[in-house]
Amino acid sequence: MSAEHHSSLLDAVKGQPKQVWITAFAAVIAFMGIGLVDPILLSIAKGLDATPSQVTLLFSSYLGVQVVAMLVTGAASARFGAKRTVLAGLALIVVATALCSAAGSIEQLVGLRAVWGLGNAFFIATALSVIVGAATGGQSGAILLYEAALGVGLSVGPLLGALLGSISWRGPFLGTAILMAGALVLCAVFLKSDKHEQRAPIKLLDPLRALKHTGLLRTSVASALYTAAFFAVLAWSPFVLGWSAIAVGLVFCGWGLCVAVAGVALAPRLAARLGERHAAAAAVFGYAVLMLVLAVPSKPVLVAGIIVSGLVSGLLNTLFTGTAMAISDAPRPVASAGYNFCRWLGGAVAATLVGHVAEWFGSPQAPFIASAVLCVVAGALLSLREKTADPHTVPREAVLVGEEF
């Protein structure tokens, strides 16, 4: 990383107003929800007498509702304002996580995770605009702060889940509820009201209309296939490891740190060398190879593969978003919503089917092999020649790793 880039990272954290730090803090907690349940999947299965396929529905319901809600968050923010949208999302998360800690069945827990996903969609989709609008030093510094929040959240989530989950599987949910309640109070007090601000309307179907662009649709479908593989790692590997909450939490903490480092420091360099789309194609083919490595029936190999996959995931999060934002002439918020709708739909479907794939083929390695095939297809889609030039930069406005939930 160049000295110039180091200075931009330092500038991003200097002299920021309170509402930027408060929103970033809340974003860290929200992003923690992605990996929070990873270390306690086995404990939940045992405590609620649930099968692996039932437990992985915790990801499916969370992501499925989030996917649909993403189509309306832009319209909600445009109508009601960023602050009210953020507060509504935080309130939903507080209620859902608190009730998760008291769930008496896997069905109740799955339903409450869906409410959590709805709250997360409203909060995370709006938090970036709050940070960008309030941050000093320009939009690029604000986005760096947002990416830092993503990385910290992905790293701390599994650790919190492990530490509190070693006491009880209910602990991580209650801990998140308490932290998010604090963030809700802080946001309610310190975020500026935007009641009278003029906002351009966004129609509900605009994100889907944006997918009529062939390049954006191809990129979005490729991203959905990669995200399916991503959730094979996230939702299935804890069952293959079969380790304690602490051990799984430490593994995924390392994974989260790799995601953060690669997304912020490595992806722009790779894009500058190969171009966003070509770099994404190369990375997703690399992810296919890693999926085959994860299929090796060896736990040390599996652990190494999970952690290294975080580096490739960090690259792909940034490169896919940069490609999607550059390839279409649709407004960035609209193109991003359409792209993220497809992307996380892939994650929701994968989290639903991953346990069944293992059962159908009678092998715990089957989901990883299927994921490798999906990544090869994704790479092939990205390798198809586009009519438009492939820019050899990642626009700072497009490096919205955090916008990918």
Rounded Cα–Cα distance for residues 13 and 28 (Å): 15
Answer whether 285's CB lies under 8 Å from 225's CB. Answer: no
Report CA-CA distances (Å) from 404 to 53, 80, 224, 273: 25, 22, 12, 24
Reduce the DSSP state of residue 68 to 3 states and report it.
helix
Answer whether 314's CB lies under 8 Å from 183's CB. Answer: no
pLDDT digits (tens, 9 = 90+) for 243-292: 888 898 899 989 988 988 887 788 888 888 988 889 999 999 999 999 99
Rounded Cα–Cα distance for residues 152 and 150 (Å): 6
> Predicted confidence band at 405 (pLDDT cuts at 50, 70, 90)?
very low
Predicted TM-score of the model (pTM): 0.80
Question: Residue ranges per domain, the chain?
Answer: 3-404
Q: Is the pLDDT of residue 150 over 90?
A: no
Return the DSSP state at 401.
G
Mean pLDDT in residue range 360-370: 94
> Predicted confidence band at 195 (pLDDT cuts at 50, 70, 90)?
low
Residue 162: other Cβ atoms inside 10 A:
24
- Three-state SS letters, 194-212: CCCCCCCCCCCCHHHHHCC
Angle between helices 214-241 and 57-80 (to 10 degrees): 140
CATH among 3.90.550.10, 1.20.1250.20, 3.60.9.10, 1.10.1240.10 for 3-404: 1.20.1250.20
Structure-block tokens of residue 297: 């029936």
* Residue-level pLDDT at 9: 45
